[in-house]
Structure 1
Amino acid sequence: MQKYCTFALLVATCIGLCSSATNVDIEAKEFIKEASKKYYELYNQIADEVYSSIKDEDDFEEIFNKIENVRKISGGLIEIATDANNFDLSQIKNEETKKAVETLKMSSDLFVLGDDYFASVLLNLAALKELATDKDIDPYLDGTSRPNNGSLAYTPDIQNIFKKSTDPEELKYYWTAWRDANFIWSSVNFFTIVDAIKKAADSFDIPIHAFWYRSFNTGEMLKEMDAVMKDIKEPYQQLHAFVRNELKKKYGGDVIDGNAPIPAHLFSQVLEQAWYEGSVIESYFPFKELPPYDKLVEKFDAKQMMEEAERFYQSLGFDELDEEFKRDRLKLSDDTDNIKNCKADIFDLTPKVYVKYCNSVEFKKFMQNHGYLSQVHYAKEKKNLPSYYFNSYDLEYSVGEAVILSASTPKHLTATGLAKDFAFTDQTLFNRLFRMGIHTLFNIPIYYVHTRVMHDLLGGTIETDEVNKHYWKLMEEYVGVEPPVDREEGAIDFTYKFFLDIEQNMQTKKFVGEVLGYQFYSAFCKKAGQVTELHNCDFYGNLAVGNDLKAMMALGSSKPWKEVLKKVLPYPKLSGDALIEYYTPIFNWAKSQNKESKVKIGWNASKRKVL
């Protein structure tokens, strides 16, 4: 009798628990269905506010009203996140339902900070962007330099100087002056944003690195990046040694030590001059022998450049962009005062993508358009996914990079008739490849260092007063770069790029986008049967490549990251192999030059002091 009562009690308890779990699952499913629909509606309302034109840039009341409207709309997103957080995940039995609730829990992103976001974080982000445009740097005057035309801004004034100057003292002055003028302002705003990111993670009750790498849906992204840095270390050091030796020949041993890291102001010069005349590689690869890239697109206007870029995607089998998008959500930028340095603005958190592109006819913008359209088509392919699967692990950036690599090749430009009047020689091809290599391979380690700084700072392995010393330690170890002068305590020496879209972890996205972009490109070229001369492969018009792409895009984040990558990559992980394959010709050439010149590969410890 006692055994029977015990058994009956267990059955009754089990029924109660099972019924409760079922009810929770049903309730959660109803919630995610309504919340996903509401998510799209709210973010579309935010996009409408942000992307509608401001009639008068100086009308602060209109700007304030827009911000106030976004603040009110964001309350609905916070409500979704709060409701999702109220579910006890341990009571949800269905794994897909549980994942959906976990994702919706973070649907408000930094809006979760509420009024603090609008009263503080937005202002901090705006202040960091203004570091580039504030005219607060006195001109360099040595009796021979350009005349004093008033104070200078980082963009475009100082950037243009780095693109043209061959005076290392002038470059050192501007490198130092901009940082010394802005270190208090940059540090105050930067550390406030860091605290806000930590506070947001606490609000979501998730580990800080899980929040920081949230778009990749993994807190382990740094391990993948570490592997890439090991892959490219040796070839990078060969290219670094060649460039350092050329700088030494140009400026002398008093300016640059042939065994030390490259001073940061000269490293920046090399990067800025990669596509300009006067670079340190000019004697080997003259700028005048490059294709006349801007002339290739001079017959277009800005709209036609976008339409020409769209033809690439249609050649892969993607549907034509619908008229509603082209009429209502594809617009020229309002930034008429900054056409040359304009950057497109894109919103793609829902299927209704908004794009503001630049009214500037130049080859660089033409290629960027190819990249922007990857976000538009990615959204179209996953348009039927609920919001909790709409994230695409930021793979749209890698798709865009692969398309740009193909669209910029001599093979493509010749086949489409854009370069019909220009003959690409072997020397031209190598010239292009070398300049691309400097631009790409010297930036990737910087993206890595920027990621590591934030990773370590957020994780608590370094304190705020150690951040600059840690930054230079990483710059020396991974990039082979040192400060031009000793740096005082409290300095913040990050490049301006470090601060751009920092709340979105843009530097990690840049790293992953570049590396995976080359991996995608290599895979597409093999799919297209082009297995030789990777740097001149064009997969334009290949429907098999388009089918692989659409299969990957359609998944959004409904499958784990590596399963999504399998639709395109046979080995779904970050790897430097495609980068090395692409740039093997210049690595081999630099290695030969280094052997002949008997230069040091790698670098000794920096003698610069960072307090």
Structure 2
Amino acid sequence: MLWQIFGFLIISVVTSNTVTDAAATNQVDPKQFVADASTRYYKLYNQIAEETYSSTDDEDFNTIFTKLATVKRIAAELVQISEEASEYNLESIRDVQVKAALQNLRRVGELFVLGEEYFSSVLINFAALKELSTDKDIEPYLGGANMKDQDDSPLAYYPDIQKIFQQSNDSDELKYYWESWREKNLVWSSINFYTIIEAFQNAAKILDMSVLEFWFRCYNNKEFLKEMEKVMEDIKPAYKQLHAFIRNELHKKYGGSVVNPRGPIPDHLFQQVREQAWQANSVIEPYFSKASLPPYDTFVAHFEPRSMIDAAENFYKSLGLTELPSEFFDKQLKEQDESAESGDCRADIFDLTPYVYMKYCKKVEFRKFLQTHGYLGRVHYAREKRNLPSYFFPSYDLEYPVGEAVILSASTPKHLQTIGLSKDFQFTEPILMNRLFRMGIHTMLNIPLYFVHTKVMNDLLNGTVEIERINKHYWELMEKYAGVEPPSDRPENAIDFPYSFYLDMEENHQTKKFVSEVLGYQFYRSFCQQSQHRGSLHNCDFYGNVAIGNSLKSMMSLGSSKPWHETLEKVLGKNSTLSGEALLEYYNPMLDWLKAKNRETKVKIGWNASQKKIL
């Protein structure tokens, strides 16, 4: 959607912290310069809100032109601020907060420092990569048992082919779509992706910082990738157990000609397993039937879309967080224009701290009920940090793991019974394991992908790997960290990234997802420990615990005014590094089951080298 593209532009402006008068130079006292910049931010916010969010007609080209003209004007000011802030000698400034503010202000130019090149090329490249998943340009697979009933209209990856991966048990069909989408988009994805890589490298040079500092700017931690690697080491033994079980089930289903019982899992089937985690044809169906899962959608069938938001808000209110004002519900909350039937609609979040605008999906189902709990975490985070100077509004993206922790609590049988949604349903141990297993497949199989995608960008940007051999490097990482191989031999000049790799690339979305998942479980365990929960971690509900709300508020109110680890200490205590231990504790019952099953079937734990070639 064009609204989302312009949303990215304005979000870049806002999270870049602030704007100031062009007249401000290093002749102005630095403290005054910073104060003026912060004050102007609030005035700018009102203008942005009026000229962007107030319009819902994305196809009105006059409106689009007005938005673009506004963004270009703002971009010019931001670039000038970067230049002006750079004129101050940081070594001579004693005030720690003023120094930190100036360091942030030096970066506000972001990709806008590329000037007209950004608007004429790079922005279009971002949009083009997003459209790779929605263009209907893939010819349908005409094989299989249902050939006579098939429509021959071209398909888009989303939602058409994604739905096929959720439903199909035909390995040849899945392989066809896996290869066809990549071959169809080879040239277009390569050109746009490479242009974007160069844009990040060029912008970093202009801003006089390393490209990795520019790319990982949210976390501002040179050791950050090492922390991610440590998480991968933490979960490696458990991941190998899950991998061995899944590979064995796929081998039984498709045979040795498709799945090597001692090798990596072919990527088209690895995707199938992830997409079918909550479907009736999941690989765990012989052991844990979907039919025995709780009727989750029935639990929320009586809700209206807005009342699901009210239910999520009740969770945050129960923690003692400040109730959202009527202004949010009256002016900042809107219903999406799209029909609730159009694919897997998600809410659009437009973060203009101290306010957050939200366009919510009209679909009523349990998954949306949980997602709404996560969305409101962003709204509450913005309110708690609203009293900070604007240059400290960025919050290391911690609003996302906060939302994940709340989702974990809100989805527990204990919580559903507490608020009366499942009062007539009995959660037996097999049902709890069924739920846990399906959650585990979704979570534990995605984390290595988020890491590999982060590592690819890291290695490409810093020159560790040449762009000409990026596909070979990608598959080396996929084999090493995920135990996954391509379905067939692949050309070295291909670019085999999945469509999710390109989504929100400008926001470093894959790294954000990794951190959100891992820290979400760390926050959740910390809250459960604080509430003195007894029993299995996966059924801990911290609803109604005001002390936990106070811990949250103490972290939220800091924004980025304190370093990353010091901010995390407000919730995690002194051991505030990324860790996979909480996730492993959460899934411990599943892992015990896997170890016993793998011993029984005597499957290989781990994988041999792939026999597929990157030519």
TM-score relative to the length of structure 1:
0.94
1:357 to 355, 360, 370: 360
Letter of the 2:468 counterpart = D
Partner AA of 1:584 in structure 2? N
Return the index of the structure with the highest Cα Rg: 1
> Partners of 1:456 and 1:151 in 2: how far apart?
36
Tell me, what secondary structure is at the counterpart of 2:79? helix
- Paired residue total: 588
Of 560, 584, 589, which aligns to 2:588?
Answer: 584
The root-mean-square deviation of aligned C-alpha atoms, in Å, is 1.6
Partner of 2:614: 610
User: Deviations 1:557-605 (Å, cap 9, x if unpaired)?
Assistant: 1111111111110211100000100001111111111111110000000
Return the alpha-carbon distance in structure 2 between the equivalents of residues 45 and 610 of structure 1. 52
Displacement after TM superposition at 1:51 (Å): 1.9
Counterpart AA for 2:588: T
**Distance in 2 between the 1:48 and 1:124 partners?**
27
Is residue 336 of structure 1 aligned with residue 339 of structure 2?
Answer: yes
Structure 2 counterpart of 1:113: 114
Q: Deviations over 1:25-75 (max 9, x none)?
A: 9711000001122234335533443322333x4433332332222222332
Structure-2 residue corresponding to 1:49: 51
Match in the other structure for 2:16? none
Amino acid corresponding to residue 595 of structure 2 in structure 1: K
Residue 74 of structure 1 corresponds to 75
Q: Runs ≥4 in structure 1, deviation > 6 angstroms?
A: 23-26
Structure 2 CA distance for aligned equivalents of residues 338 and 213 of structure 1 = 37
Q: Give distance in 1, aligned partners of 2:308 and 2:502.
A: 30
Cα 1:337/1:358, change in 2 over 3 Å: closer
Q: Deviation string for 1:1-45 (max 9, x for gaps)?
A: xxxxxxxxxxxxxxxxxxxxxx97971100000112223433553
1:346 maps to 2:349: yes
CA distance in 2, matches of 1:288, 1:294: 13
2:227 equivalent to 1:224: yes
Partner residue, 2:30: 28
| 8 A contact 1:392–1:556 mirrored in 2 | yes
* SS across alignment from 1:128: helix
Amino acid of the structure 1 residue aligned with 2:476:
K
Query: Aligned residue for 1:556?
Result: 559
Equivalence for 2:10: none
Give 5+ residue unaligned stretches, structure 2. 1-24
Distance 1:368 1:225, change over 3 A: same
Unaligned runs of 5+ in 1: 1-22
Residue aligning to 1:511: 514
The answer on whether the counterparts of 1:330 and 1:355 sit within 8 Å (CA) in structure 2 is yes
The CA distance in 2 between the partners of 1:415 and 1:137, in whole Å, is: 47
Once the two structures are overlaid, the 10-residue window that deviates more, 209-218 or 83-92, is 83-92
What is aligned with 1:7? none
CA distance change for structure 1 residues 558 and 45 in 2, over 3 Å: closer, same or farther? same
Q: Does 1:443 align with 2:446?
A: yes
Change (3 A) 1:338 1:78: farther
What is the CA–CA distance in structure 1 between the aligned matches of 2:144 and 2:545, rounded to whole Å? 59
Change (3 A) 1:496 1:48: farther
Secondary structure, aligned partner of 2:473: helix
Matched, 1:291 2:294: yes
1:319 pairs with one of 300, 322, 327:
322
Separation in 1, partners of 2:427, 2:206: 57
Q: Structure 2 matches for 1:82-161, cutoff 5 A?
A: 82-142=83-143, 144-145=145-146, 146-161=149-164
| Partners of 1:551 and 1:567 within 8 A in 2 | yes
Out of 210-219 and 266-275, give the one that drifted further.
Answer: 210-219
Q: What letter is aligned with 1:75? A: A
Separation of aligned partners in 2, 1:190 and 1:24: 38
The alignment-based identity, stated in percent, is: 58
Q: Distance in 1 between matches of 2:276 and 2:212?
A: 36
Q: Which is further off, 508-517 or 111-120?
A: 111-120
Q: CA deviation at 1:488?
A: 1.1
**CA 1:347–1:332 in structure 2 vs 1: closer, same or farther (change >3 Å)?**
same
The answer to whether the Cα contact below 8 Å between 1:246 and 1:280 also exists between their aligned partners in 2 is yes
Letter in 2 for 1:593: K
| Cα distance in structure 2, aligned partners of 1:184 and 1:175 | 16
109-118 or 147-156, which moves further after superposition? 109-118
SS at match of 2:371: helix
How far apart, CA to CA, are the structure 2 residues paired with 1:130 and 1:173? 20
Deviates more, 1:219-228 or 1:453-462: 219-228
Q: Is the 8 A contact 2:26 2:87 kept in 1?
A: no
Cα distance in 1, alignment partners of residues 247 and 463 from structure 2: 35
Q: Which amino acid aligns with 2:140?
A: P
- Which one-letter code corresponds to 1:196 in the other structure? A
Report the secondary structure of 1:106's partner residue.
coil
Q: CA deviation at 1:393?
A: 0.8
Alpha-carbon offset, residue 332 of structure 1:
1.3
Name the counterpart of 1:405: 408
Q: Deviations over 1:428-449 (max 9, x none)?
A: 1000000000000000000000
User: Take 2:474 and 2:408, find their aligned partners in 1: how far apart are those partners?
Assistant: 31
CA spacing shift, 1:154–1:433, aligned 2, 3 Å: same
The whole-number CA distance in structure 1 between the counterparts of 2:320 and 2:55 is: 34
Alignment check: 8 A CA contact 1:25 1:92 kept = no
Per the alignment, residue 280 of structure 1 pairs with 283
CA contact (8 A) 2:340 2:363 kept: no
Indicate the residue corresponding to 1:12 in structure 2: none
CA distance in 1, matches of 2:293, 2:50: 43
Structure 1 segment 205-284 matched on structure 2, within 5 A: 205-284=208-287
**Corresponding residue number in structure 2 for 1:20:** none
Say whether 1:478 aligns with 2:469. Answer: no
Evaluate the alpha carbon distance shift between residue 434 and residue 200 of structure 1 in structure 2; reply closer, same or farther with a 3 A threshold.
same
State the 1:415 CA deviation: 0.9
* Equivalent residues of 2:26, 2:84 under 8 A apart: no
CA contact (8 A) 2:491 2:614 kept: yes
Cα distance in 2 for partners of 1:465, 1:477 equals 20
CA distance in 2, matches of 1:303, 1:46: 26
1:472-499 alpha-carbon deviations (Å, 9 max, x no partner)? 0000000000000100131111011110
Deviation sequence 1:416-468 (CA, Å, 0-9, x none)? 01112221111110000000000000000000000000000000111111111
Paired with 2:114 and 2:26, the residues of 1 have a C-alpha distance of: 28
